[in-house]
Structure 1
């Protein structure tokens, strides 16, 4: 498996673990709401129910975001290889290594550090469309692109 394939797998695992955690929390809230309805009455019931409803909505929005990230990851995985930095590319620079895919953060593989970043992140926007050997400035520091895979 190539480095890029390993990073895809790590990103897929990251997204899937987040989705499963949210689904588990939603199920727990659903059970709590059912139990609350059977045993409570009055203002306390309404306040508790409203809090659970707010949490449900928050988790539902997070679930939607992670499902979108899952779709973005599939799109990145199916992109043809390119010499231009774009979605799905692994870009090694003089400062760091970036995997332009989803915002999954720092990943370590074979004693090397990679940062999985979304295509709309500040650093990805600076890298997009650039090729090996080009320079860019990030956080006031000049960097050079060493390779684009």
Structure 2
């Protein structure tokens, strides 16, 4: 399971890198578009177009900041020492599903097993935090058993 955990962390890293690169590429395109707008004609049309580009730049910059913060959280999760208790960085197998508690990514597959990368603040993670192997918890009116914690 340790190997799977490393692979899952790497998949999370790849996910973030891909998102960050896509946003940076879009920001570069917008910077070029803004430079071209400055060179073009003046007037109301110019101002409107420039403001739209700036608004999009601001939105993408906010998204970039969020993904950079997620990178920091992921690195914290990777560096966390195992304690036997479910915490940030834990790989948890339950009777309902398998979870990696780090950042919210998506459904991931490793060696024909499905895992869900979830944030520590997600509702299900909050129910699992500080529990150990053999404990159970209730989520969405279902009793879930924790089979394994790493």
Quick check: 1:21 aligned with 2:22? yes
Instruction: Give CA deviations for 1:49-100 in whole Å, capped at 9, x if unaligned.
Output: 1111111011000000000110111111111112100000000000000100
Q: State how 1:22-101 maps to structure 2 within 5 Å.
A: 22-101=23-102
CA shift at 1:40, angstroms?
Answer: 2.5
The unaligned stretches of length 5 or more in structure 2 are none
Number of paired residues?
A: 149
TM-score normalized by the length of structure 2: 0.97
Structure 1: state its 5+ residue gaps. Answer: none
What TM-score do the two structures reach when normalised by structure 1?
A: 0.98
Structure 1 runs of 4+ off > 4 angstroms?
none
Q: Is the 8 A contact 1:82 1:89 kept in 2?
A: no
Distance 2:92 2:3 in 1: 14
How far is 1:142 from its partner?
A: 1.1
Provide the alpha-carbon RMSD of the alignment.
Answer: 0.9
